[in-house]
Structure 1
């Protein structure tokens, strides 16, 4: 014990409460509160004096508890020791937490050493207290500390059990109040009841007098409050929806502000329009204001570098600034990471190239320097093995360096072009033996102008030059002829293709390992008049290009034909153009048109992240309306998980079907079935795959998640899904013509093909398959020889099958394209029969959904109606919850696993999510789907997300949690919104920065 002891008056407290803060803080507070005033008249407030004279209570007790009674003492224990010394009783709140507490043990030790056990009271709030032979049974007792209580009590002490009471102690307080006040328990309980009765009658009299006076005022206030609340709610609804529109208007020019406007809208009110915009918020690019001219992603995708006068390193996932390192402050013309492991960053800084080691992104270091001549370095490119680097300067010097030891770079030779360049694009073919160049010559107007201005107006196309890496002085022949003069080019990450952008078109070339180019394919463009001067090639067949007007075009070239998947604008806030008539006259040898003279909208840099999930674009300028001084340039980071659905938060290949608990998902992509861990649905992890015998047209999970069924045309397969091993085929069946409906009259020469159209599991071992002839075939996993039964149904061509909750029966919902929806009993497949039909009209049924527990059913039809039922009575009763209507046909429907929400997709490509009550359906989200997605795509809920399986071969996922979406929007939200900007969009409303 050290330090001075706080001096308190003797007997300052009636009792000292010792307890564990981690577990028993609520019950300690309740005991202090109730013990102070137990049996005390309501009008008594002065604390009772401490005397040794027993008697009826009249005033509140003094009870010490450290949270309420400790002052700002320089040391904690002296103050507690002083309180113990001035207390008459010790109340121990016993639990496993207090038994393990060092402070509680120390307080008990002091009390036993200075007071003894006679004035110790025990209240048990958790664990066990067991008395043995002359002491506590310490093998069973865990609510008391063995040290120092072992052997202290000669007889079993009285303890009070509060384990079921916690914060509402009631009359159990009498067990503590009686000994502390020195009166019998019966006496103090009687006093307490009398005081409570007296207080109740006093209160009733006061209430009776006040009620009449207050009633009229209260009624008027309630009405006024309700009207005001309604008015505020209507105002918030209108302003929140208006902010959604404002966000859409500025997301091209000020994406960070657009993100903040949506976050602000959510603060006001989560209307269906707001929650839908939040779900699709990933379509708005992130905005990062940077004092930089170039950027680059590290090869593993975990570091984003921006380079200017200062090197800054960011975490791409959170945009957290990891490190800053001042550079030489010269003009930066290029920044590029080396190939994997990719920790070396080359920066063309002035006349040199810096080599920076960013293995540790929080502590970058300079690893070496390639010293150039007097000309500005324009380009740097690593060889595929990362051991060499090629540089190019404005004077036309192409130099090769060995950087096996970055600290001691070795020049391997220089190849002078004897020309001066405005810009220089340089890239080594990944996996090949070629270095490709696109040097743009520096213009020479008369009278002469400085190099920087001359470079800005030098925009004419050039030739693609291919060099043999083994002999850089050797120029290889190129299929890109003079007539195909280009502005830019980029190799695919695997080196097998090259994309070029020239005067006439954007073309995709096949590239051999030796560098030869062949079989050019022209990529589709929305407007051929827009020239493309900047282009990037990412993994997975992603290509992005920026046109003169700031239009960003995205292509998917992974399939047999390239597809233009998306276009969006990257409008600069303060972009500048140079007009032809502002330029000096050319000399007599110059030949360039006015169209070539006009300076384009000129991005500083662009590129994909290594995994292709993001595309970044660095542009000059920023938000001209910002009130604060900000860095001069803007880095926009677009989500390119699926460029047809830019708002997707996750993407899976193929059509996805969620498992029964949502933690596993299966996707079917052509002939490959993949199993995914979707415990975190926004970050799926592939568990394994299996090759299907043919193209998969439909797939279903068994209720226990351990089997899959899939089909193609007339063939049905079953696969085991064993978490401990790979998926494998366990059965294969053929559909048969049980109705003798083939061949169709008049089409005998075409033969007969029974095409499956729906599949589900009746139970974990029984599969039901519907087909276009209107029959349901039942198969058993343990019966691989064929169908147990083939049952004709009356709904016609089948579109959907799903099991219903039916106790011991096996009921199946059967929906047909003709409009009928029936319930069939397949308990005995050989004697299956129709149990009933759902009303709904004659309009064709597009889709049906049943919740995983089989208790909620939803059907959507071509006439724009959706009907939702609850299944009761073991499947015998269908209670109609709601009818939903839309202006156009509804094409897809999904239910949450709990059956409390339903999502429908309209042909106008709007997703609507409704919350279901007992007899109501309330819309809570409206989400426009990109027009490039097929309106007949399928929907599913799992793990708090909504999935859309589209016809273009992917399943995209949206996060439905609006709070999480609002937080995600605040990552990469650019400069904070200003009060002036807020007053413009929400005049009269108080301003609170939405992302703080």
Structure 2
């Protein structure tokens, strides 16, 4: 099938053997009617394309010819002289968006360019195409779209040679022979990105994203998104999950630009590729740092900052308001096994774990306080009295006390010193003063919203102290977690009445907090694949989000696929599972941390290779769905199906542009 650019005329090869080509009027899509039938001399159609101005229709055939028609008057199309085409069937056709140039590929492993406005019937250029055979089984015969022009017609994407490259890019300047550009690369190896053959290729209208579909002889394969803003550095940025369906077809971008439509045996999938690094996300901010437990923290206050701190580096991103967002500070990072970040209650101070190189592969592990109100986030104070590294941080609500988990998951970096939790007074920000220290081999710490209860999560125990007097912490009885677990993490519900603690067995316990202590028996629930990463409550406490990587029973997209799990915690005594989301395509060893912005609008995650931010505002998601789907119920349809209700279309703003941002790439910060 092929549509004219205005969407009014559909060309379709019909019949069991595709020997009949018909034109249909789609001016009213609900009432299509046939305009004309085109003769093919008994040959079967294998590819179709219409020119950008809607004048020309090209049909590739099984015998290798390319038939041409002038369909300016679709009720009376005029057949033009046929092009000799290829030796063997034609598998793909595409017109340049800017001139009457047709590109074709065929079973003879050649890609040819034709000037359809010229009187001659010979190709204006021929280049090498894929040197393998396109696999087709008797049960599955894919329709291929293996050629694509950029929207300015300057570059043509074609299949690679099957060995050294999946794709080739050609500069197609008018009057010049096509010139091959650099082939795209991948850490996986150039041919590993296709299971068997390149089936489909499509550029987004802004030329920033390229979508490819690869398929084996049974139609199973993968969809890959590529960054193409710079044709000198085309790199794969995301593999779409859940597309390993039988009978894969081609994928094309909708004219709106951000929506990718993929035809499968199960139906047409729609993908929001506004952020190609993490489809569906509001933005991606480059590869996250290395580390055992990459820290995420949003700042409170009117300015929304996101701090990301790993073992080798860190960054602070200003995500206030609408994109474009920007990185405002680069941080040295803590140390592998000691990564932490926290903001003061007013958002003006960032505390983070950092390391100071001392040469010969050694580093001094320190705590730093930074001023977020000034450019570059200058250092206010450096605290040297750290024994193992800063593995966790928590401010009291008045920001007068900072709790520091002095520990390191990298046991080789502990220098024989005992792990502790230290309390620092911040009455003089330039000179933090340690006022207390308690023994704790903790992986995570948190302070209750009222500032009087400090908790520390060890491998299989929950420790707590009353810190109403921070100079003299009072230990509370320890609570046992699942025996034999290796790590645990606890977070307070924002109302301060509940504490959720998950351990690496996948068991979550929700404890009640009363009189500044943990009371009663906890409510428990189990999450397959949870291994101790930091979860998060929404600011209203009604939603609880965590990451999971199922190992036994495939969930949603399959075993080993990192994703988010969303739980309803309106009643903390009976949390209810609501949904799984953000499935990642590649096998993962562990999940990642999550953090809500203090206004509840954004959710930051590290479950992929990048730092991803999701807009969880329901109204924004409604706009996103409408922008993706683009379907608006008309007034007449509303009257037909909902006759007794006032006309209120769900997508009042169809195809609204939803801003997004991408900083860096998944290949590096």
TM bucket by the smaller chain?
A: 0.5 to 0.7
Distance 1:500 1:605 in 2: 16
- Which protein has the larger Cα radius of gyration, Structure 1 or Structure 2? 1
Distance 1:933 1:432 in 2: 46
Structure showing the higher helix proportion among its residues: 1
For the 8 Å contact 1:426–1:438, the answer to whether it is kept is yes
Distance 2:92 2:26 in 1: 24
Distance 1:428 1:783 in 2: 50
For the 8 Å contact 2:305–2:320, the answer to whether it is kept is yes
Structure 2 counterpart of 1:398, from 66, 73, 79: 66
1:364/1:785 CA distance change after superposition, 3 Å: closer
**Paired residues, what number?**
491
Match of 1:949 in 2: 606
Structure 1 counterpart of 2:303, from 703, 706, 711: 706
1:527 positional shift = 7.5
Tell me the SS of whatever aligns to 1:774. strand
1:489/1:855 CA distance change after superposition, 3 Å: farther
**1:761 counterpart = 2:405:** no
Structure 2 counterpart of 1:635, from 267, 276, 286: 267
Match of 1:544 in 2: 213
TM-score, normalising length: structure 1 = 0.40
1:359-402 superposed Cα distances (whole Å, 9 cap, x missing partner): x65x3434844633443443221334555432334565524445
Match of 1:237 in 2: none
Match of 2:536 in 1: none
Distance 1:609 1:886 in 2: 52
1:472-528 superposed Cα distances (whole Å, 9 cap, x missing partner): 834244442685666666245736462527665761212324354343357748989
Greater Cα offset, 341-350 or 847-856: 847-856
Match of 2:92 in 1: 425
1:892-941 superposed Cα distances (whole Å, 9 cap, x missing partner): 776665564647585xxx97655444452512433424354463732225
Gapped regions of structure 1 (runs ≥ 5)? 1-334, 441-460, 573-602, 620-633, 655-667, 672-696, 736-754, 962-967, 969-996
**1:336 counterpart = 2:5:** no
Distance 2:318 2:194 in 1: 53
For the 8 Å contact 1:556–1:564, the answer to whether it is kept is yes
Tell me the SS of whatever aligns to 1:475. coil
Tell me the SS of whatever aligns to 1:519. coil
**1:380 counterpart = 2:25:** no
Please provide the CA RMSD for this pair. 5.5
**1:792 counterpart = 2:406:** no
1:547 positional shift = 0.7
Distance 2:339 2:490 in 1: 21
Match of 2:159 in 1: 500
1:232-280 superposed Cα distances (whole Å, 9 cap, x missing partner): xxxxxxxxxxxxxxxxxxxxxxxxxxxxxxxxxxxxxxxxxxxxxxxxx
1:483/1:641 CA distance change after superposition, 3 Å: closer
Structure 2 counterpart of 1:823, from 417, 423, 428: 423
Mapping of residues 374-523 of structure 1, within 5 Å:
374-375=41-42, 376-384=44-52, 386=54, 388-394=56-62, 396-403=64-71, 409=77, 411=79, 413-417=80-84, 424-429=91-96, 434-440=101-107, 462-468=109-115, 470-471=117-118, 473-480=121-128, 483=131, 490-491=146-147, 494=150, 496=155, 498-500=157-159, 507-514=166-173, 515-521=178-184
Distance 1:867 1:936 in 2: 22
Distance 2:348 2:194 in 1: 61
Distance 1:491 1:769 in 2: 50
TM-score, normalising length: structure 2 = 0.57
Greater Cα offset, 501-510 or 765-774: 501-510
1:540-565 superposed Cα distances (whole Å, 9 cap, x missing partner): 34422111244313434337644784
Distance 2:439 2:70 in 1: 78
1:142-172 superposed Cα distances (whole Å, 9 cap, x missing partner): xxxxxxxxxxxxxxxxxxxxxxxxxxxxxxx
For the 8 Å contact 2:22–2:36, the answer to whether it is kept is yes
For the 8 Å contact 2:56–2:68, the answer to whether it is kept is yes
For the 8 Å contact 2:61–2:89, the answer to whether it is kept is no
Tell me the SS of whatever aligns to 2:301. coil
For the 8 Å contact 1:617–1:637, the answer to whether it is kept is yes
Structure 2 counterpart of 1:814, from 382, 404, 415: 404
Distance 2:440 2:608 in 1: 28
Tell me the SS of whatever aligns to 1:768. strand
Structure 1 counterpart of 2:250, from 560, 582, 606: 606
